[in-house]
Amino acid sequence: MDDMYIGKFLDDRYEIRERIGTGGMAVVYKALDHRLNRFVAIKILKSDLAQDPELRRRFHAESQAVAMLSHPNIVSVYDVNHSENVDYIVMELIEGITLKQYINRKGILNWKEALHFTTQIAKALEHAHSRGIIHRDIKPHNIMILKDGNVKVADFGIARLLTTQNTLTQQTLGSVHYISPEQAKGSAVDARSDIYSLGVVMYEMLTSRLPFEGESAVSIAVQHISSIPLQPREINPDIPVGLEEITMKAMSPNLSARYQSATELLEDLEDFRKNPSIRFNYSIVPSMADDLDSTKQIIPVKKVNEVERARRRVSGNGATRNRVTPEEYRKNRSKSGRTTMLVGTFCVAILLVLLVAFMWDVAIKDWLMPENEQRIEVLNFVGQMLDQLEDQNEAYINYRFDVKYDYRSDKPEGYILKQEPTAGRTVTLTDTGVLVTLTVSAGQEDTLMPDIINKDYRLAQNELNNLELNLNITLAEQHSDDVTAGYVIDQSPKAGEVLTPGMSVTIVYSTGPDVTYVKVPNLLNATESRAKSLLEAARLEGRMVEEYDDTTQKGRVSFQNYQPETEVPIGTVVEFYISLGPAPTQPTPPPYNPGGGDVQPGGDNPGGDVQPGGEDPGTQPGGDTPTPGEPGGEEQPGGGSPENPGEGQTEPGGQEPGGADTPEPGTDTPEGGGEDVPAGTGEFGGGDNGEEPNG
């Protein structure tokens, strides 16, 4: 598939940066999550496979399986989506290399390192199996080694939920070098299939070889079913017997003889870790009796023929290449017999030479010596200290010593481990004395406890394991307000103290602050003082906000931002709202009366004009001419008439409708009979127009 996704955004969130791997079903990219500002790995289903509904279903089943898992040794899944015809999974980005790459670089792994990796893989499988999930493709390619030495199991590409397991037709999934016999047969699989595959991974770590090799996938699958691999200790004698027994039990082709669960495997791994010399007395040559008949029935003839054709292609001449004539057989047999005789004669000669040399040194040499030679019996020096011999020169005047040092001994420096000649032998005393070769312990440099304070406890644990002292490490947790969670707070023994093999070491690491949770009290309908008292009693902080609320009594709590009984850390700020009662309303203006012509009380009427809707006073029906104080031409309450417009009564409250004050006694009231009215003194108060209305 082309890199058409590089630089593209998925769901306006994930920016694809580079391709980092390709699998059987999908391509894996490194991407930046712009929402959370972190790098992630995105697995995109190959476009040619996305057209197959069954493959798409399997692809999404993978995400369904992994999303159910949460374990430090399993790669996490963050998101699953389908965008613009692209099916993809967003996963944790792992910075590290695969176990396969590590084996290829290093070759045979130290058995302690293999034990460390195996234990973490088994813990991941134990977690997955407990949730009904089988990986079905455990192999070093799917195991990531992090920079801190821990591992994570990845790529549940053919993982299948037990509750929805279906039989696959004409397909055996998984890498053929690591599949279990039941997978090779096409039979149903369970958790024990993953254990078999883990056993093959252990075999490869300990020997740097695969248990079965072949010219084709089918021939390798047949070997898983019907063959027994070479024992790991025959390839690498440094493997402890107990670890070899665990490996071969996990790889047993007989399901009933295999470990029945990852938990059972972990128990044996832990027993071996505590005592590497332990032997489980398992039969490392698995019994095939239970599976022979079923094997004969399960391997199709078509597959056997494919193996035969592959063999013929390798040989180049087909089956006739292996045919031998009677004459050739007799010649080969004669040649083989002569070779065997020569090799046997050579070996016997070497043994005779060694035997003669030994007898000469032990007995013959002494018998042939002249009788006048002085002979002494060699003293025992083993178990003494070398400095004791040097201090007692007179007692050992007949001896001279050749000292060799053993740097691998755990005995103290100067301790005599062995001597040659051995104690009790009778030897001839020469003028220069008897030469005795002593093997002396060089001692060991003291291994000091490193300073692991403020280190990640997992890194500290790895550092101690790398000392190869088989320390008994105990992890302890402790809350801390100052030290980051996961980092070491205390250690025992202290830094600089001497460590001895099998010594107990305690690592105390932080779990973060000790947070105490309390329940939020019910503040609704409480007064402000009561709400503050309740929060103070619960060791919580309060923040009061006022708001209008027509459903809650004034001065009472109408709302709180945490529901009652919610558990929050001590000191959390809880907001509560105090009601101010109903919100105030705006005054309602008097109703508008079109056509009435009445001037609103207190209102100005610039220029003496009438209110909108009023008719011109000079054109009132009937020819009546109203007074300036009577807009609209209506008669004032209490008496005035058109004939005496100035004598009308004033409005209640002492004002005329225009808003002007009532004239003082003795003053003239302007009338509308045609007299001039000075500008600014009209009864419409504030008017600029000094002319009276048209009569």
**Do 87 and 47 contact (CB within 8 A), yes or no?**
no
Of 419, 414, 409, 412, the closest CA to residue 381 belongs to: 419
Place of tokens 């996938």: 217
Mind giving me the DSSP string for 525-545? Answer: T-BHHHHHHHHHHTT-EEEEE
How many other C-beta atoms can be found within 10 angstroms of the C-beta atom of residue 243? 25
CA angle 120-124-127, nearest 5°? Answer: 140
Question: Is it true that the peptide bond before 450 is cis, omega within 30 degrees of 0?
Answer: no
Spot the catalytic one: 3, 52, 79, 137.
Answer: 137
How far CA 14 is from CA of 27, 28, 90, in Å, comes to 15, 13, 9
3-state secondary structure of 654: coil
> By the 8 A CB rule, do 294 and 217 touch?
no
Token couple for 416: 């005599």
The CB density around residue 128, as the number of other CB atoms within 10 Å, is: 25
137 included as an active-site residue: yes
Interatomic CA distance for residues 611 and 608, integer angstroms: 9
Cβ proximity of 14 and 42 under 8 Å? yes
**Residue 492: other Cβ atoms inside 10 A:** 13
**CB-based contact 210:201 (threshold 8 Å):** no
Q: List 369's β-bridge partners, or say none.
A: none
For 548-620, strand residue ranges (E) read: 557-560, 567-569, 573-579
Tell me which residues are annotated as active site.
137
